[in-house]
Structure 1
């Protein structure tokens, strides 16, 4: 792996750093981190992972082969402006910023750089992220391979077209929150039926984990797996019937649809504001 600069030092940046070092994809000396103003955060990353840190933006990016934009989306304009004059056309830009298009990123840099958008999720913290990658036409196969290797250090990687990223955001980007929401409901149901909280949590977590492994490794579709658990006249059939009664499947579809639409709205709003400021 090549030298990587992180502009932004939040949770996703830390998850990627941890994954790269733990997997042996990068040595700490190949990673450098900068941010807007949080010196305490930079010190923490240096002490925890042995990476280089700096507040000098030119120093951060001048030797980097890959620059990862990991600031908050609201700070992307100022963040890019702080490094724009120091970025070369040979460097690969990877953005983990939700809703910010590659076109907007190129416009902010003022040049047609190689840009890859990545949509990981918060499970990156335990190296179990589901990450989707999309790129501009300037990105070479070697650059996409490098980005794929990078994000495989924190989980699973898929390649999509950029027009699918809003849907990916609505599905897997926000997806952990949906799973936790279901876990909340199941914990409440367990309490209603006299199961202690710590016991319920262990049972629910392992049930989710086992079901996920079955989805990944059985080769069977979700519908078939569900039917295999559902005996005629049994407990599961009764439970599924109640889910159907309350239109839970429809609610989940609407949930993803609404989150997808919101992702698109956020991107369009940012692009419009960026265009106004530019003119």
Structure 2
């Protein structure tokens, strides 16, 4: 069945989802985007052939409404669309830290709400979305959201209480990988490589290792041990990492991110 989809917010993530949904086979005629800036609206119409209109008009006929705006803009947006959203619509919020209760309380009773935490690899179709259904979201509505977001990557369904952990692991996670990449590239340069070569080696190594972890069915620990021969080069590196407390620091960093996410979300 054709679903009419409204995307409120045409920033980087909003356009990423728009592009992914179209690549997944949805027709441009089934999508409507909201954008206040005339120049940006024209750009989107010309690039994707979609309808671009106001927030209220975008949600009026939509089966699924994706809120892809900054967290501080969500309350005003909800006030703007509350009278226009369909009673049987599913509203999906990708705004970090905004609780399901906050969204449900601003919309008419019975409107289904799903909270989602995306990450930036959705830009290349390899995103990770952790989603949580609200009190009025049916199994069928949740399945629709899962299929929709899978156009930009993978999806896991978690209890909302776990959203801070999702934020800490996958929402912020790309930055940890980039942080590691920075160090690997710098180490390669220090060892005599030019920066371009060090970057190429690092990027492909991370891509390959991630694919192996995702597809092999083995644990990260097992895969690491397989590469780490006794007294070999990898053993020398891992031993040095352990001496500097790298693993403990990363675990502490994830915990700090989860704690900060909880602070930003406030009471749910």
User: Normalising to structure 1: TM-score of the pair?
Assistant: 0.92
Q: After the TM superposition, which residues 2-151 of structure 1 pair with which residues of structure 2 at under 5 Å, given as runs?
A: 2-24=3-25, 26-35=26-35, 37-55=36-54, 57-109=55-107, 111-151=109-149
Q: Give the aligned CA root-mean-square deviation in angstroms.
A: 1.3
SS of 1:131 mapped into structure 2: strand
SS of 2:266 mapped into structure 1: helix
Contact map agreement 2:165 2:258 (CA 8 A) in 1: yes
SS of 1:90 mapped into structure 2: coil
Counterparts of 1:34 and 1:191 in 2: how far apart (Å)?
Answer: 46
Which residue among 229, 232, 236 is the counterpart of 1:231? 229
Counterparts of 1:171 and 1:239 in 2: how far apart (Å)?
Answer: 24
Shift of 1:187: 1.0
User: Cα deviation per residue 1:109-130 (whole Å; 9 max; x = unaligned)?
Assistant: 2534210111110111111001
User: Cα deviation per residue 1:125-179 (whole Å; 9 max; x = unaligned)?
Assistant: 1110011111012111110110011011001111111100111001100111111
Shift of 1:39: 2.5
SS of 1:86 mapped into structure 2: coil
Extract unaligned runs of 5+ from structure 1.
272-279
Counterparts of 1:190 and 1:39 in 2: how far apart (Å)?
Answer: 47
**More moved, 112-121 vs 174-183:** 112-121
Counterparts of 2:56 and 2:134 in 1: how far apart (Å)?
Answer: 25
User: Cα deviation per residue 1:238-268 (whole Å; 9 max; x = unaligned)?
Assistant: 1000000111111111111111111111110
Counterparts of 1:45 and 1:256 in 2: how far apart (Å)?
Answer: 37
Counterparts of 1:179 and 1:83 in 2: how far apart (Å)?
Answer: 38
Counterparts of 1:170 and 1:91 in 2: how far apart (Å)?
Answer: 30
User: Cα deviation per residue 1:13-40 (whole Å; 9 max; x = unaligned)?
Assistant: 111111111121x1011111113x3222
Q: What count of residue pairs does the alignment treat as equivalent?
A: 267
Counterparts of 2:154 and 2:4 in 1: how far apart (Å)?
Answer: 22
Shift of 1:43: 2.0
Counterparts of 1:74 and 1:158 in 2: how far apart (Å)?
Answer: 26
User: Normalising to structure 2: TM-score of the pair?
Assistant: 0.96
Counterparts of 1:40 and 1:108 in 2: how far apart (Å)?
Answer: 31
